[in-house]
Structure 1
Amino acid sequence: MGKGEPKGDDDHLLHELQAIDFVLMDLTLYLDTHPADGTAISQYNALTLQRKKLKEDVEARFGPLSGAGHSFSGYPWSYSQTPWPWQV
């Protein structure tokens, strides 16, 4: 297994989320200069939906990935109780 490759299913999920984030950022930059590219907008929207679903799956297994209003918390406050993303 090479450096940076996922080690298991847990790492694979986080790696996939990071890959989608990278593509979304790239598409965001592209769309800043090509705002009428309908194909790119469709790709952006599809990947945004895919990221939302994947994030929900990851958080259901491991807890919130981020605080400050980006993830819901159960009761009691769970953000500080779950492993950090790099500890998974």
Structure 2
Amino acid sequence: MTGNENCASKKELLQSINQVSFAINDLLLFLDTHPHEKRALEYFSELSARRNELLKKYAELHGPLTVDTANDSCLRSWQWMEQPFPWEQEGGCR
């Protein structure tokens, strides 16, 4: 895998995380007013599981984005703090 492929996959993974997170936030607003809507609750469960999968995959490849995935990817050290955060990188990837 070349650096460009890794960069594209990192950007694509971040985009997927952002899309799923947006959908979850939107769905939560709906559930605030429709708390017993079965289809919405099922969809929330699906999206939450998908988001957790994406966050775990991102943490394994590029370091954690949330504290929830820090334990999975940083058992040896806190080196992930030494890398630039996604929003600090010019052009998205190095």
TM-score, length of structure 1 as denominator length: 0.80
Query: For each residue in 1:27-85, what CA deviation from the matched residue of structure 2 results, as whole angstroms up to 9, or x when unmatched?
Result: 1110010001000000000010001011111111101113xx43323221233123312
Counterpart-to-counterpart distance in 2, 1:78 and 1:29: 36
TM-score, length of structure 2 as denominator length: 0.76
Mapped contact 1:27–1:40 kept (Cα < 8 A): yes
Runs of 4+ in 1 over 3 A off after TM superposition: none
Which residue does the alignment assign to 1:84? 85
Counterpart-to-counterpart distance in 2, 1:64 and 1:30: 29
Which residue does the alignment assign to 1:32? 32
**CA RMSD for the aligned pairs?**
1.6
Written as runs of structure 1 = structure 2, the 5 A alignment for 1:1-88 is 8-66=8-66, 69-70=67-68, 71-72=70-71, 73-86=74-87, 87=89, 88=93
2:20 corresponds to which letter in structure 1? I
Residue 80 of structure 1 aligns to a residue whose secondary structure is: helix
Counterpart-to-counterpart distance in 1, 2:59 and 2:79: 11
Q: How many residues align?
A: 80
Counterpart-to-counterpart distance in 1, 2:14 and 2:79: 19
Percent identity, aligned pairs only, is 29
